[in-house]
Amino acid sequence: MPLIAQDHFQFILEIGAIIFALVAFTINLVPISLSIITFLSLFLSVAFTLLFGADLAMLFLSFGQNEFTHPFGPIALLAIITSLASLKVMEDSGVNVKSLQKFVFILLIGVTIFGGLMHRSFLLLWILGLFVGYFLISKSFRQKSFLTIKRVLIFCGLGGAAFVCLELLSAITHMEIFSPLLRITRIETNSLASLKMVLHNTQLIGHTPGSAYWGAEDTGFASGYISLPMSFILLFGLPFPLFYGVLVTKKDAIDYMLPGIFGYSFDFGYLGLIALIGFTLFTIIIGLMVLREYRARREKNNKKYLGKEVLLIGSLTAFIAQAIVGMFIFNRSINGTALLTFIFLASLVISHVISLKRN
């Protein structure tokens, strides 16, 4: 296989390998203490709260928006859950963290409001991620089971309330961009044609040549519906098919209208889908196994891995939430720049295995 990527698929693999190597190097060679992780997670939480708030303000002021929630939403979730896990460790050590807890909850509410107003898919990812994060924290610190009927109903109620509030805000401000019903209507109107295209043309490897937008020039594999950011591809001068400018609407037939399992199936075939599912399950299982080992060592009074443990809780939470939303709800959540985030989070999870092997 040539080192210079020949298509989108190979380019994703090569960039993924580079990201994994960099993350593994950082995780295992740079000292990671609880204090450093706590500081960084709080700093990132503040930064993303301000970033999402600024993006929302630009939308209201008609300056356009950058949609930071797609690529950075999972990272914001990582920061918040890591902060909460860090506070739990400090609380168990007898440290008074009430003021910090209030501060983190203010940030949590801020990200929920700002990010949720920008994108409904982010709101789903955020609520799901908080649920997963609290569950992992409760299991890691052997608290009373987080999964209770009351809490499940509360999370469902929060989701329903957010839906209603967004619809009311859309009606009051006359800004359809906030309307969840409008998005549902668009999907109902346009997704059937996209779904038929995928199901009728997907093959074991790739899709029927010529069935993508590119027509006769379509090779039937890695046609650009799933790709890394366009700026990356242009930076390296790679001659790949790209959906840019007005062509973005053609990409939206899959990227916006369908869940990721259909997008990855169409571009890379059923084997590509199996690889995605296998990679996701492998990462989650590895993360849970390492998390259990970290807990065992902490309970033996080994404080060496506290920073890595809380980082893993945040990373695994964000990865699970992004994987579920991207694969089963909204392809764009694991595509483009968000795909870089997905790879980065997976690398953060898997790299912890090397830490345990080295010690």
Q: What is the pLDDT of residues 133-187, one digit of tens each?
A: 989 998 888 777 656 677 677 767 777 777 777 777 777 776 666 666 666 676 6
Query: Encoding tokens for residue 321?
Result: 């939430």
pLDDT tops 60 at residue 39? yes
pLDDT tops 80 at residue 190? no
pLDDT tops 90 at residue 106? yes
pTM: 0.90
Buried-exposed string 52-66: b where 16+ CB fall within 10 A, e elsewhere: bbebbeebeeeeebe
Strand, coil or helix: what is 11? helix
Query: Encoding tokens for residue 200?
Result: 């009728």
Name the average pLDDT for the chain.
86
The predicted structure's pLDDT at residue 255: 81
The predicted structure's pLDDT at residue 10: 92
The predicted structure's pLDDT at residue 243: 83
Buried-exposed string 246-266: b where 16+ CB fall within 10 A, e elsewhere: eeeeebbbbbbbbbbbbbbbb
The predicted structure's pLDDT at residue 142: 79
Q: What is the pLDDT of residues 282-334, one digit of tens each?
A: 999 999 999 999 999 988 888 888 999 999 999 999 999 999 999 998 898 99
The predicted structure's pLDDT at residue 357: 62
